[in-house]
Structure 1
Amino acid sequence: MRLLFRLFSGPRARQLVGPPHPISHIRPVLYDTASRMGNDQSHPYSLMEFSEGWEDHGNLQLRMEQERLYLFNHTFWLDSNTRFLQGKEEALQRWEANGDKSPESKEVVLSEFYSQWSIQEASRQAKYTKEWNKRNRLVIKLAMGHQIRLWKESLTKALLGQ
């Protein structure tokens, strides 16, 4: 039991999530690193920050891919939502210029806009989804590899009694 506790405990990285972007509606994520040094550290800087192990390379690659995926996602939705809001505003301006101010005519104008928007964006959305899935699978693969390396390290330390 003690071995399992040591194997699955230890420093954890935290992800800090901010409020959603007003247009993309994507919440920014700040990735924190788990400290491997104890609180008795007397050096003013983290010397582990510059560790040269291959494990750190894997963690760095994971972090970079996570940030690339976030940026890809944010950029797509920022562009898509900006164009959507602009198109919706133009549709509403045409409705106001039409003269028929009834709620029913507004619903018809918006319904036509939404339908046209969905058809217009279907191909772009499909390409985005395919690319997002590809990038997300890479992030999952890297995260699994990183976690396996951490478990191996913990198991080795636990078995050696460190």
Structure 2
Amino acid sequence: MSLPVILARRAPTEAGRAALAAFHTSASSSSSSEKPTRSRKRARLSAAADSPLPSDILPTLLVGPPDPISNLRPIRYLNNSNSSSGAVASGSKAVSTNHHPYSTSEFTSSSSALLSSEERRRSGRRTAGGASSDLHIPPSEYYSALLAQLESASLAHRLRTTRAWSYDHRFWADNNARFTRDLTNSTSNSQATPGDAPPAAEGGNEHAAEFYQSWLSANADRHRAYNRALVSRTFGDLAPEARFRLLVGWVRVVAWWEREVRARVLRLLGSGAMKR
């Protein structure tokens, strides 16, 4: 059996205190000296980002609070472009806003502010970077085709997700409404005949168990049909969802290549030609 080893803490000496203070001072100075280096590195990495990014196409997923009837959390997609978010904000007024988790109009100003700040950062980098950073490097044809394919796949993914959530919401809202209505009717009917009712605690539990069992038996066909549809939809969406996720990953890899390799090489070649 191993015994625990107890280490006694001794008070540091004057030399130890001085060494410890010097260590903290050097560590803080080194960390403060590393911050500008890391920020400059991030600026260099993002300085070549003239090509559109996958995040400019993929929408932002918003998840709201649970619905009071179906207990499912609604999902909303917010387009990252300013025009698309404005269209969503104006179009949301025509759609029913019952239990809507967010006001889409509040994201219009934030998205436009983010867009303007990004434009200011890019213009500042071009001004500070000199002639080499003024060179605009358009994306390659392959990357442009990938972005178009990603946009179509993203729309199909949103359609599948919205359709699945709407189907689940309709079923569970109807199912829970039926259950609440039948439970209320059964409870009121049992309370109408108090002479045959057992004591409150035992009678309430037995009545709830009997009602739940009979209610599940009466609605078994509906539940089996929903389960079959759910399994069929899940297996049917596996292949499209896998292709979409692989496409998103590949587009990000190509975007990194366009930004960090291709754009840098073309800028170096362009700056060399301008110097000659």
TM bucket (normalised to shorter chain) is 0.7 to 0.9
- Number of residues paired by the alignment? 144
Tell me what 2:177 maps to: 82
Tell me what 1:66 maps to: 161
Tell me what 1:142 maps to: 240
Q: Could you tell me how far apart the structure 2 residues matched to 1:91 and 1:134 are? A: 35
Q: Could you tell me how far apart the structure 2 residues matched to 1:83 and 1:69 are? A: 21
1:127 aligns with 2:222: no
Tell me what 1:25 maps to: 71
1:151 aligns with 2:249: yes
Q: What is the TM-score when the length of structure 2 is the normalising length?
A: 0.46
Runs (4+) off by over 4 Å: none
Q: Could you tell me how far apart the structure 1 residues matched to 2:207 and 2:248 are? A: 56
Percentage identity across aligned positions? Answer: 22
1:15 aligns with 2:77: no
Q: Which amino acid aligns with 1:40?
A: E
Q: Could you tell me how far apart the structure 2 residues matched to 1:22 and 1:32 are? A: 23
**Superposed CA RMSD:** 2.8
Change (3 A) 1:159 1:17: closer
SS at match of 1:40: helix
Deviation of residue 159 (structure 1)?
A: 3.6
Task: Please say if residues 91 and 110 of structure 1, whose CA atoms lie closer than 8 Å, have aligned partners that are also in contact.
Answer: no
Q: Could you tell me how far apart the structure 2 residues matched to 1:83 and 1:124 are? A: 12
Q: Could you tell me how far apart the structure 2 residues matched to 1:123 and 1:154 are? A: 46
Task: Please say if residues 20 and 27 of structure 1, whose CA atoms lie closer than 8 Å, have aligned partners that are also in contact.
Answer: yes
- Please list every run of 5 or more consecutive structure 1 residues that lacks an aligned counterpart in the other structure: 1-8, 42-51
Q: Deviations over 1:106-160 (max 9, x none)?
A: 2222211101011122221121112112223344433321221122222233345
Deviation of residue 103 (structure 1)?
A: 2.4
More contact order relative to length (CA 8 Å, sep ≥ 6): 1
Task: Please say if residues 66 and 139 of structure 1, whose CA atoms lie closer than 8 Å, have aligned partners that are also in contact.
Answer: no
Larger Rg: 2
